[in-house]
A = this chain, B = another copy of it.
Amino acid sequence: MNVVTLAGGIGGARFLRGLRATVDPRSSTITVIGNTGDDLTLHGLRVCPDLDTVMYTLGGGIDEERGWGRADETWQVKEELAAYGVEPAWFGLGDRDVATHLVRTRMLDAGYPLSAVTEALCVRWSPGVRLLPMSDDRVETHVLVDLPEGRRAIHFQEWWIKHGARLPAAGFVPVGAEDATPAPGVLAAIAAADVILVAPSNPVVSIGVILAVPGIRDAIRSAAAPVVGLSPIVGGAPVRGMADACLAAIGVDSSAAAVGQHYGARAGGGGGGGLLDGWLVHDGDADTTVPEVRVLAVPLLMTDPAAAAAMARAALDLAADLSR
């Protein structure tokens, strides 16, 4: 069984850990199409927060408490950069993490595409999945914010981390996406998939940005495999992160139903461009209808790896049902 999953950072990574525990590695492959719209360059270092979170989480190197960055991390480089007066204090650049970025930056500078770099980094981490960036081309999510001096576009990380997503966002622009092409292997993996999953990641700046790469949405829509998504919204609020601020900016309610409708049904001639055949919502959420999508309620709180595995199991079961 070939499982393809679209995923962002922390939530996606934890879901993937559950998925990996659920499928039999002898007969199954997991391909992850990861968001790179959050990537940034700090002090000349290329940082890929979502890819790293997936890699560290599945490789056993993640700081479980924070959900991002390395376990047993230290912060000497960051403190020293601050002493030189050049540190963007709002970004967490740990010492162990810096080594990853050094290797990545060196390989990128040498001309390797991000997909090859990611594969090389994963040799160390053995994540048990094939981790693909959505694109080898640079796509950078900018946030349109309305400031007293007018509308400005700032880097997603600046909005998300420095401003804690509190600056009212008027929209998101995946700069570069229109000219990007899917990374090698992405379209082939989708075409060969037996199941396509949309992880409970941020629908706007993680999944939405992946889908903004021309060709990926169409490939999913025309894939033979059933497509099942998991709601990142539980009880009207994001399980973690600040997806509600992102959804508000694009006029989507913070509810499982609204996100499901935003993704839309693959079937029928309805809105066109829809993705989903199945949609998992949290047990007990009210009003979860998504037209022409099979909605199923299961527990969607990843309180521990076992809970994440049960969610993955439910998603695969729903996909199997849809395949019949």
Contacts and interface: CB of A to CB of B under 8 A. Distances in A.
B76 A121 contact: no
Interface of A: 43-45, 73-74, 76-81, 83-86, 95-96, 98-100, 102-103, 105-106, 109, 121, 124
A81 B95 contact: no
Contact of A77 (B85, B99, B121): B99
Contacts of A124: 83-85
A105 B74 CA distance: 22
Given A76-B76, A76-B95, A95-B95, A44 B106 contact: yes
A316 to B, nearest CB: 33
Instruction: Give the number of times this chain occurs in the complex, counting copies.
Output: 2
Given A84-B121, A124-B84, A45 B76 contact: no
B106 A80 contact: no
Contacts of A105: 44
Residue of A45, A74, A80, A86 with most partner-chain B CB within 10 A: A80
A44 B109 contact: yes
Contact of A102 (B44, B73, B100, B103): B44
A84 B101 CA distance: 11
A99 B84 contact: yes
12 contacts: A44-B102, A44-B106, A76-B95, A77-B98, A77-B99, A77-B102, A80-B96, A80-B98, A81-B99, A83-B99, A85-B124, A86-B103
Nearest to A94: B76
A52 to B, nearest CB: 12
B109 A95 contact: no
A139 to B, nearest CB: 23
Nearest to A72: B76
Nearest to A83: B124
